[in-house]
Amino acid sequence: MLLRSLSRIQLPLYILASILFGIKTYVVYRFMFNISIENVMQELILFINPFASAFLFFAISVWFKNRRQMKFLRYGTLIGTLILYFNLVFYRNFTDFITIPVLFQGSNAADLGSSALALIHLSDLLLFLDVAIIWILSKRYDGSVSVNYNKRNRAIVLSASILFLLGNYVLAEIERPQLLQRTFDREYLVKNIGLFNYHIYDVALHSKSKAQRVLADGNEMPDIQSYVDENATSKEESELFGIAKNKNVIFISLESVQSFVINNTVNGEEVTPFMNDLIEESYYFENFYHQTEQGKTSDHEFLIDNSMYPLPRGAVFFTHGQNEFNATPEILKEHGYYSSVFHANNKSFWNRDVMYENLGYDQFYEESAYEINEENSIGWGLKDKSFFEQSVKYLQSLPEPYYSRFITLTNHYPFELSEEDASIDQYNSNSRTLNQYFPTVRYTDEALEQFFEQLKESGEYENSIFVILGDHYGISDFHNKAMSMYLDKEKITAYDHVQLQRVPFFIHIPGQEGRVISDVAGQIDVKPTLLRLLGIENEDDITFGTDLFAANNKDFIALRDGSFISEDYVYSKDQCFDRESGELIYAKTTGVEDDAENACQPIKEKVDKELSYSDQIIYGDLFRFYKFNAND
């Protein structure tokens, strides 16, 4: 009945397709993506942009004859819906939008398993309702819903669609000047120009980044070297320089563990009792931030081994795995270290088998090195307790000194755990993800405690230094409502979101007393800090981090989206907050407050420059023009 009524209205099908697709897209933007709306203008732009994109795309159909016109509308609606839906599924996990480099990481999809299934909802079928309507109308009523315009009218239709799109862009520029320069903030782009125009722009950016390597000639390096010398790397030696000289390094990356669980409880139970106790015997950085982007765990690995920033789009491990780097394993090899990675996952996931070799690792103990069965695996694979237990024998066989990294798996989205492995109850909120998060974090904490005991029994503990940190967030801002409930906050602000990017960071040296360190720090600082603890001073190295135990360090930590944390301020999404109180002291939408704005602006300029320099090195593969020498 509905379809028959639509056919009698004599509405051209391309207009109906544009209206239905625009409405659907706006609903997804407004109610399924977690896009922040700060004023009426932003709401208007968000409403307009899906219709502007849809009218331009479907207006192309008027240039075809009847049969091809209907075919274009059918498949155009289907393809557009699939693009929208794939972005929605991706967003549910990463709170981000798909980029071209991410598509090249499609080989990872085969390993997602239950993680991908958890992101698909039965109600998603409603997003394909307009596809069904257009499909049936184009098949059954093609004569009454097609158009047969002359060339002049076709040009008018297309011109009107282009003007509509340009009007959308003008409004967006008024609301957010220099919008297309904010390539690091995909939410801004989608909110203002729409998802589909964002994808077109992303294609252009990808082409530009590919051209950068061809055009690079190494002349960029002196400016970068000068910036690093003046603003990043501290030349002062700390009192801990060389304290772990020639010791083994056992590096443990804790999957998705965030700092909000440390020294915290759920249902009256400690979430991480072992790590809480470990703080007393370690150097523990309570204001340590992950700095990953779309590459997640692989970005974390890139940061800690290279002290450079990951890319704003895609993962360096995939897009630039053949570049020249000067990574920690390569430097340590010059000082007699044997390096290895332990991770019970597919060796090609995140292109690790290629990237590890390029970074200088000697051995990769991946999935095939472990006995994995139904009893000892769940979710993404081998449970952490079995992973550590099976790894000890390999660790004992390594030549010393060694640099060995371990990457856990159990505390990975969707945070599945069997009842017999769960030693604390789930949280009770509207977010299944957050509810399940606490038992899996506790399981990882128990596995870490067990690993320490096994290392002591095997004799590997005493002559080692331990570096333990969370790799990236586990709970995205898609679950802000539940997180605000757990943290007893009215809502999660931009300030709170940045603070939730803190991850635990321990440096544990057996026999050394520890202390809690409140200085702002990040994953970019791990490489120079570790090398200096081992007594290695690499003066010609180019790193954007600093030795955290040295004085006069850099005064900010930059996140990949352009946010930053300094001693006094937290900056995110054009808002400047007091770091201690969380009080908003400047925002673009609250009016002009020059003094407050200037407080964040000088650091923001440094952040943008530093991120740009790091990107130049990677996109241009600039280290191929640079000579490194490892020095004692």
The 10 Å Cβ neighbour count of residue 4 is 10
Percent of residues, the chain, with pLDDT higher than 90:
62
Query: For position 591, what pLDDT does the model report?
Result: 47
Per-residue pLDDT tens over the stretch 529-564: 999 999 998 777 899 999 999 887 788 999 999 999
Peptide bond into 414 cis (omega under 30): yes
Q: What is the DSSP letter of 428?
A: -
Q: Which of 206-210, 455-459, 541-545 has the lowest mean pLDDT?
A: 206-210
Half-sphere exposure of 438 toward its Cβ, with a 13 Å CA cutoff? 26
Mean pLDDT over each residue of the chain, to the nearest integer: 89
**The pair of three-digit structure tokens given for residue 356, joined into one six-digit string:** 């590890």
Q: pLDDT class for 206, splitting at 50, 70, 90?
A: confident
- Does 199 or 632 have the greater pLDDT score? 199
Looking at the DSSP bridge assignments, the partners of residue 464 are: 248
For the segment 350-359, the average pLDDT, to the nearest whole number, is 90
CA 106, distance to chain mean position in Å, is 16
The alpha carbon of residue 82 and the mean position of all alpha carbons in its chain are separated, in whole angstroms, by 23
pLDDT at 415 over 70: yes
At 71-129, the pLDDT tens digits run 999 999 999 999 999 999 888 877 778 877 677 665 555 555 556 677 788 888 999 99
| DSSP β-ladder status, 377-378 and 363-365 | unpaired
CA dist., res. 144 & res. 5, Å (int) = 12
Residue 251: name the closest of 560, 559, 533, 515 by CA.
533
The architecture that CATH gives domain 234-553 is: 3-Layer(aba) Sandwich (3.40)
One-letter amino acid of 3: L
Mean pLDDT across 120-147: 87
Sequence-ordered list of residues with C-beta below 8 angstroms from that of 619, at least 6 positions apart, any chain: 209, 212, 213, 216, 311, 320
How sure is the predictor about 590, in pLDDT bands with cuts at 50, 70 and 90? very low
pLDDT of residue 592: 42
The predicted pLDDT at position 632 comes to 42
| Residue 444 pLDDT exceeds 60 | yes
Query: pLDDT per residue over 460-477, tens digit each?
Result: 999 999 999 999 999 998
Q: What is the C-alpha separation between 476 and 497, in angstroms, rounded?
A: 9
Report the interhelical angle of 195-215 vs 40-59 (nearest 10°): 80
Q: Which are the contacts of 106, defined by CB distance < 8 A and separation ≥ 6?
A: none
Q: What mean pLDDT comes out for the span 617-628?
A: 91
297 is catalytic: yes
234-255, pLDDT tens digit by residue?
677 788 999 999 999 999 999 9
- Specify the length of the chain in residues: 632
Annotated domain spans of the chain: 2-212, 234-553
Each residue's pLDDT tens digit, 307-338 = 999 999 888 988 888 899 999 999 999 999 99
Tell me which DSSP letter residue 232 carries. I
Q: How many CA atoms lie within 13 A of 221 on its CB side?
A: 16
Mean pLDDT of 133-139: 90
Element (H, E) at 530: helix 526-533
Given this model, what pLDDT does residue 178 score? 67
Residue 151 has pLDDT above 70, yes or no: yes
Residues whose CB falls within 8 Å of the CB of residue 385, separated by 6 or more in sequence, listed in order: 443, 446, 447, 450
Task: Quote the pLDDT of residue 631.
Answer: 46
Q: What is the pLDDT of residues 358-400, one digit of tens each?
A: 999 999 999 999 999 989 998 888 999 999 999 999 999 999 9
pLDDT tops 90 at residue 603: yes
DSSP class of 163: H
DSSP state of 589: G
- Does the pTM surpass 0.95? The reply is no
Identify the active-site residue in 77, 99, 233, 297.
297
